[in-house]
Every structure is written in structure tokens, then in C-alpha cells.
Copies of this chain bind each other. A is one copy, B any other.
Amino acid sequence: MMVSWYNNGLNTDKISIDDRGLQYADGLFETIAIRNGRPRLWELHSDRMQTGCRRLGIQVPDKVNILRSLVGVIEAEDLNENDALLKIIITRGQGNRGYAPPRDANATILFGVYQRSIYTADLYEKGVSVRFCQARMASQPQTAGMKLLCRLDQVRARSEWHDPEIAEGLMLDQDGTVVSGTMSNLFIVDGDELVTPEITHCGVSGVMRQHILALAVAHDLTVRVSRLSPDDVKNADEVFLCNSQFGIWPVSFCGNTRKDDWPLTRKMTSLLRESGVIEGLE
């Protein structure tokens, strides 16, 4: 997989071992879809990044500067009319050994440019199969919602299956309620209601999830943020996943329950398309 990294502006795939991102997972990241040279849902990504840095006491990058850097990377990588996947990592920077953050730490800002992930039409048209994972998410209300560097729970969950037919694994929290997929947020349809798990104890407040919620509200759909049991998901009328890269995937197999009709899911996909966020399938 081709990837090109920029470390504080320098085109290099190296970072100091002393960086607190490696030493303590002291940082956060964003994974952004570049479509036709533009960062999709940029405002949501940018806001989450700013809020995250503020909550962790990491030097908050200037919004304009970081957008300027992003545009510079897009130019340098000749992506002006192309698609890509852009990962931005922000760490607290380098520092002495010890957990105490250095008072004068300068954040490390990394841009990584990957090829856009390509998903087959079947995933969108026939739906995806998902499984329930044994690996659970740690409960940590103090940082819930943030996209933290520490993804070990997701790594453990994603190690549980090798079957390429299974597109995603659903993860439970410490109480056994469903939080999300390993790399996506989850919605179910209950009657005419759109329901998504609350992100209060763990999980990431995904930008596509935020956008879908806003879109649903703007179109007078009933939305609810709630605790969902595995059975709520299995028995739901519809289930779909979303993330910044693939948009919306209907779920066809979920804990051995077959679903093959997704009217509200299709409506949300249409609304996404009409809002200009996705073109074609995603």
C-alpha cells in the first residue's frame, strides 16, 4: 500500500521514538476522505480535532494553518482532482520521560496520504455481514467520543476474524450494550425511528454519524440516541453502518439474523447524496 507521510511539514516516514504519541499514546487522529481533491466533512473533522486537543491539553492547532497544511499536502501529492484517504495524527510532541506533559511541548502533526479504499458495489447493494466481537471497549467517560490514538480494543476485536465475507465486527461496552463497529458507527431502524448508541462511556463520535444525525433532524425524521442491547440490533427492522470513508453500508447479516430490505437506510443514503457529501455509491 502506497503511503506518504509528512511530519511537521517534512516529507518523511520517520518520527522520533521520544514522541509521546508512541511513548504514551498521548494524542489523537482523524481519518479523512479526500474526494476530488477536497476533504469531505472537513468542518466536523476539524472541530473534533480541536475539541480533542483542548480536552487533552494538547497544543491546539490553528484551524487555518492546519487547513493550509492539508491543502499543501494535497498539492504536493498531486491530488487536486483525485481521491485519497488522509490520516492526520496529532500528538503532544516530544518530551522527557515521565507522564507529566512538558509545559512547552510543541504538538507533532503528521499527515499520511493513502490510496482511497475501494469497496465493491455489493457491499452497498446487498448489504454487509457483521459479527459480534468478544473484545469489549474500555469504559472511560472522561475521554468518550474522542478519536484517541489508543485503538488497542479495536485491534483486539479485529483480530477475532479472518473471514473476508465479514465486513465489520460490532463491539459491546463493559455493560454488554452495543457501542459501534470496530471502524464504524452503527444505526438501527426501529419502526420509523432512527436509533444510534450513545457515546457516553466509550466509542468514537464519528463525523459521518454526526452528519447523518444532523441530516435526519433537518428532514424531520425521528432520531434517538440510546442504549442498545445486542438483541435490539439483531431484531431491528434495519441496521446500517457508517464511517467517513465508505459512507453507509446496509447490514444484511447480523448475529445470524437476515435483513434484506432497508427503506430508511436507502433514504439516508439518498439524503447523503443530495447533501453533496457522497457521489455514486458513497
Contacts and interface: CB of A to CB of B under 8 A. Distances in A.
Interface of A: 1, 3, 5, 7, 12-26, 56-57, 85, 87, 89, 92, 96-101, 110, 112, 114, 135-136, 138-143, 148-159, 174, 182-183
B25 A149 contact: yes
Given A16-B14, A17-B7, A157 B99 contact: yes
B158 A142 contact: no
Contacts of A24: 149-152, 154-155
Given A14-B17, A25-B25, A138 B135 contact: no
Contact of A26 (B13, B98, B151): B151
A149 B92 CA distance: 15
Most buried by B among A17, A20, A139: A17
Contacts of A89: 17, 22-23
Copies of the polypeptide in the assembly = 2
A19 B22 contact: yes
Given A17-B13, A24-B154, A151-B99, A135 B139 contact: no
Contacts of A96: 1
Contact of A142 (B7, B19, B100, B156): B156
Contacts of A99: 151, 154-155, 157-158, 182-183
Given A17-B110, A150-B150, 14 more contacts: A5-B18, A7-B17, A14-B16, A23-B151, A25-B150, A25-B151, A99-B151, A99-B157, A100-B158, A138-B143, A142-B153, A149-B150, A149-B152, A174-B174
25 contacts: A1-B96, A5-B17, A14-B16, A15-B17, A17-B112, A19-B22, A22-B89, A22-B149, A23-B149, A23-B151, A24-B150, A25-B151, A26-B155, A56-B156, A57-B159, A87-B97, A97-B114, A99-B151, A99-B154, A99-B155, A100-B159, A101-B158, A136-B142, A143-B156, A149-B152
Contacts of A13: 16-18
A154 B118 CA distance: 39
Given A97-B114, A159-B100, A152 B26 contact: yes
